[in-house]
């Protein structure tokens, strides 16, 4: 089976899978100095990392890139003239008009013709409907598995889902804690399958979805852990270290709104729309369901973040973005205003940096890098968070301290493996100190 590589959340995996190809939404590794795409001038480090993955992996047969950001759009010029087949999917920035949605659906049809040219088969409506049902049921199961996993293990589960789809999960997600919710997910998959069987026969056999079976891991959440949300763009594999650093120091990620997390998933499919045109229903779920700061206007993103933080009872926000991502840099102020919660903003460098090593942007400005992180800013708009400090730790004092002593006046859960977490992570001592100061403020 041929593999189609992509990273943008507006590329429907169901559409690629329905053509008999393997969709792989990759979580990139940081490109080092020996990367295939050696040039760095003017190139976002994340785009360079994706190009390195696309051009260095022998199992990749085609690449799909989008116009969601200028860096990825221009990065398309590299594989477009190379040995690998490449496709550029145009994503309208505006979304409120019918014309913008129709344009997106036509782009999906154009993508379908590219997939057939690569070696895929044109799918029937029944086959596409069944694939959509399998993917939707798998996402529900993965969401239900979140309470029983650490944030890192849940992110790795999402990464495996993006790599292999429902049938490619080498470790089945934990069943939802609520038995009724588990039955609902199974009934939904069965319902979609019965619906598809009422349509004409598919051009190919449908891939099977592995049943959700219990894993050996079960995490007990403490009542004294701090419920947090992490918000931002796509993460690299090296960025997963931030999950360990947060949870080993007394935090708990209850809402992952990064692009590689829940924010990069489509909305629910409309059964009524499926009966009329499955591709239109698929396009609607992605075009209106994926929330991104590039949309104009992007009010739905902020409304979704606010509702989710409220429903998950989030007490603080980790705002994690990469150095080059101007879109997320511009959204920081509005996110603070919308959520009204304490926010710890972390700016990360995409490329590997050793301890104490500095780095420079292409505009000549020096960045203070520490194990891959460049700058950490804080902002707290909630008066309640300030009152918790009790005068002993002001917002500026605590967050500007150079260091906090490990184990001294710390949260009990921060004591478990803290030194190992700092030693093994790429985030570094300085980041741990600022995160711990942020946690102290939230208490």
What does the pLDDT look like over 169-193, one tens digit per residue? 654 444 444 444 444 444 444 444 4
Q: How many domains does the chain have?
A: 3
381 touches 317 (CB < 8 A): no
Element (H, E) at 370: none
Measure the CA angle with vertex 149, ends 148 and 152; round to 5°.
165
Would you say how long the chain is, in residues?
A: 443
Task: Tell me, yes or no, whether 350 and 409 share the same domain.
Answer: yes
Tokens 């403020």 locate to: 441
Q: Treating both helix axes as pointing N-terminal to C-terminal, what angle do 125-144 and 179-197 enclose, rounded to 10 degrees?
A: 170
pLDDT band at 79 (very low <50, low <70, confident <90, very high): confident
Asked whether residue 21 is assigned to any structural domain, the reply reads yes
Task: Tell me, yes or no, whether 372 and 423 share the same domain.
Answer: yes
Task: Tell me, yes or no, whether 346 and 392 share the same domain.
Answer: yes
- Cα–Cα distance, 390 to 409 (Å, whole number): 15
Task: Tell me, yes or no, whether 12 and 161 share the same domain.
Answer: no
Q: What is the per-residue pLDDT for 212?
A: 40
Asked whether residue 402 is assigned to any structural domain, the reply reads yes
Task: Tell me, yes or no, whether 114 and 179 share the same domain.
Answer: no
Cis check: omega of the bond before 110, within 30 degrees of 0: no
Question: Which of 78, 101, 122 is at the close of a domain?
Answer: 122
Question: Which of 96, 122, 148 is at the close of a domain?
Answer: 122
- Does the pLDDT value for residue 312 go beyond 60? yes
Whole domain around residue 348: which residue ranges? 226-264+315-442
Task: Tell me, yes or no, whether 319 and 435 share the same domain.
Answer: yes
Nearest CA-CA partner of 252 in 197, 208, 316: 316
Mean pLDDT over 204-217 rounds to 40
Task: Tell me, yes or no, whether 163 and 106 share the same domain.
Answer: no
368 touches 383 (CB < 8 A): no
Asked whether residue 277 is assigned to any structural domain, the reply reads no
Q: What is the per-residue pLDDT for 168?
A: 63
Asked whether residue 214 is assigned to any structural domain, the reply reads no
244 touches 421 (CB < 8 A): yes
What digits encode the pLDDT tens for the residues 118-139? 999 999 999 999 999 999 999 9
Mean pLDDT over 397-415 rounds to 34
Asked whether residue 81 is assigned to any structural domain, the reply reads yes
As given in the structure block, the two tokens for residue 179 are 């038995």
Asked whether residue 355 is assigned to any structural domain, the reply reads yes
Q: What is the per-residue pLDDT for 33?
A: 73
Tokens 């997910």 locate to: 185
Check which CATH number belongs to the domain holding 114 and give it.
Answer: 3.40.50.11890
Q: What is the per-residue pLDDT for 132?
A: 97
Asked whether residue 360 is assigned to any structural domain, the reply reads yes
Asked whether residue 427 is assigned to any structural domain, the reply reads yes
As given in the structure block, the two tokens for residue 378 are 């804080």
């Amino acid at each position: 089976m041929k593999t189609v590589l992509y990273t943008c959340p507006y590329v429907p995996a169901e559409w690629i899978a329905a053509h008999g190809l393997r969709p792989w939404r990759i979580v990139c590794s940081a490109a080092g100095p020996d990367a295939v795409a050696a040039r760095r001038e003017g190139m976002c480090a994340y785009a360079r990392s994706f190009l390195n993955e696309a051009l260095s992996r022998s199992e990749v047969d085609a690449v799909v890139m989008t116009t969601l950001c200028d860096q990825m759009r221009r990065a398309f010029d590299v594989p477009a003239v190379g040995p690998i087949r490449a496709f550029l999917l145009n994503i309208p920035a505006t979304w409120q008009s019918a014309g913008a949605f129709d344009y997106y659906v036509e782009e999906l049809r154009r993508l379908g013709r590219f997939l057939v040219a690569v070696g895929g088969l044109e799918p029937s409506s029944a086959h596409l409907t069944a694939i959509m049902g399998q993917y939707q049921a798998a996402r529900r199961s993965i969401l239900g598995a979140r309470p029983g996993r650490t944030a890192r293990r849940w992110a790795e589960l999402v990464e495996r889902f993006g790599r292999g789809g429902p049938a490619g999960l080498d470790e089945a997600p934990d069943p939802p804690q609520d038995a009724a919710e588990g039955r609902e997910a199974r009934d939904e998959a069965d319902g979609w399958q019965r619906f598809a069987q009422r349509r004409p026969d598919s051009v190919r056999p449908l891939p099977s979805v592995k049943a959700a079976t219990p894993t050996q891991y079960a995490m007990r959440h403490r009542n004294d852990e701090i419920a947090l949300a992490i918000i931002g763009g796509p993460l690299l594999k090296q960025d997963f270290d931030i999950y360990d650093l947060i949870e080993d120091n007394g935090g708990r990620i209850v809402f992952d709104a990064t692009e590689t997390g829940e924010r990069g998933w489509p909305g629910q499919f409309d059964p009524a729309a499926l009966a009329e045109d499955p591709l239109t229903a698929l396009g609607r779920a992605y075009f209106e369901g994926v929330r991104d700061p590039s949309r104009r206007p992007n009010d739905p993103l902020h409304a979704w973040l606010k509702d989710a933080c409220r429903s998950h009872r989030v007490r603080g926000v980790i705002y994690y973005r990469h150095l080059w991502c101007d879109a997320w840099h511009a959204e920081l102020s509005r996110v603070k205003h919308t959520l009204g919660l304490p926010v710890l903003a972390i700016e990360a460098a995409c490329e590997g940096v050793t301890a104490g090593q500095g780095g420079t942007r292409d505009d000549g400005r020096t960045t203070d890098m520490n194990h891959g992180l460049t700058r950490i800013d804080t902002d707290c708009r909630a008066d309640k968070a300030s009152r918790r400090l009790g005068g002993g730790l002001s917002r500026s004092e605590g967050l500007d301290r150079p260091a906090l002593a490990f184990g001294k006046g710390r949260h009990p859960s921060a004591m478990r493996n803290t030194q190992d977490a700092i030693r093994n992570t790429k985030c570094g001592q300085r980041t741990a100190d600022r995160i711990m100061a942020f946690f102290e403020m939230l208490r």
